[in-house]
Amino acid sequence: MWLQEWRAISARIQSLLDAGAFFLRTPDSEMHNASRHLVQNAHATVDKIREFNNAFHAELQADQQVCLFLFLKSYDDDLRAPHSTVTGFSGVTSVVTYLASFRAEFEYLCKDTTALARSLVARAFTHLQRTLVVDGAVRTLWKEKFAEGETACEALGACHLLSHGIWAFKTSAEGERTDLVLNHPLDIASGEVQRSSVGLVLTEWKVVRNPPELAKKLEDAYRQAKRYRQGILAGFEVASPRYLVMVSEDHLPLPKLEEEDGVFYEYRNIAVAPRSPSRS
């Protein structure tokens, strides 16, 4: 996951900043080309940041992408261009300042609860599907809820998401938030919701008993998710993507991520009795 990779890079930058600070406080520190080693280390760290950008660019938010682009361009133009001379005290000061400034900004952007919440949602769905493969008791429970219908599945699914720090809700016919467990209007300003979760996500759950039903169920879930018209509360709610969850007996082929008017709709499948565990 990109956040784990960034944590490793961030720790490397911090270590370089500590070494640079020690160098700049130490008299006669140029006797053994210490500045050259620090500058080379900084350049190697920037190469790792470039690899990180190439590997995870599509998974990052727009402001994170811009932050990376501007840093890499400025660093290359100012500190790695053919005419640049990055040596000695001034060289070390330059590279550590660039890296320190970038690290501070990117760390701030990583603290955005939206990015964290999306990661937790992905983990929750993956955890649920893999648990259904290996845990007979959980599989039996979900098969019972599958037989009961959509309301039972969405309530159980909401409880699972909450165990990962995500409060899931659905939209009413009026386009308002509805609690998936209690089935009444959801007050997201309540202390319980904000203290118990990192963020909220809009979900629409559908039970697909036969594969030929899939197209209509997908259309219904998409139409219902589009009804949602309320805004974000102080950055707490995850406005996009909206998750359209198809609960079926075995795995189903699903469409790719859809986008309309800046809102993304992601399809998810929960197979309660998968005959091909490897597909999980």
Q: What is the pTM of this model?
A: 0.62
Last residue of a domain, one of 110, 136, 169: 110
Chain segment 6-47, per-residue pLDDT in tens: 989 999 999 999 998 888 887 766 666 788 889 999 999 999
Higher pLDDT, 277 or 145: 145
Examine the domain organization and report whether 70 and 122 are in the same domain. no
Q: What is the pLDDT of residue 239?
A: 67
Examine the domain organization and report whether 78 and 215 are in the same domain. no
Examine the domain organization and report whether 141 and 230 are in the same domain. yes
Last residue of a domain, one of 110, 133, 154: 110
Q: In angstroms, how far is CA 146 from the centroid of its own chain? A: 29
Chain segment 153-165, per-residue pLDDT in tens: 999 999 999 999 8
Examine the domain organization and report whether 156 and 261 are in the same domain. yes
Examine the domain organization and report whether 103 and 119 are in the same domain. no
Examine the domain organization and report whether 67 and 117 are in the same domain. no
Examine the domain organization and report whether 210 and 141 are in the same domain. yes
Contacts of 118 (CB under 8 A, 6+ apart): 238, 241
Last residue of a domain, one of 80, 95, 110: 110
Residue 252 pLDDT > 60: yes
Q: What is the pLDDT of residue 234?
A: 47
Examine the domain organization and report whether 105 and 143 are in the same domain. no
Chain segment 53-96, per-residue pLDDT in tens: 999 888 787 888 999 999 999 999 999 887 777 878 888 899 99
Question: CA gyration radius for the chain?
Answer: 24
Chain segment 164-217, per-residue pLDDT in tens: 989 888 988 777 888 888 878 887 766 677 778 777 889 999 999 999 999 999
Q: Tell me the residue range of the domain where 81 lies.
A: 2-110
Examine the domain organization and report whether 81 and 135 are in the same domain. no
Q: What is the pLDDT of residue 235?
A: 52
Examine the domain organization and report whether 50 and 84 are in the same domain. yes
Residues β-bridged to residue 207: 247
Examine the domain organization and report whether 88 and 29 are in the same domain. yes
Distance CA 187, CA 230 (A): 12
134-147 as b/e: b if 16+ CB within 10 A: eeeebbeebeebbe
- What's the order of all strands across the beta sheet hosting 258-260? 177-179, 166-171, 199-208, 237-248, 263-271, 258-260
Examine the domain organization and report whether 152 and 253 are in the same domain. yes
The amino acid occupying position 141 is: L
Number of separate domains in the chain? 2
Residue 1 pLDDT > 70: no
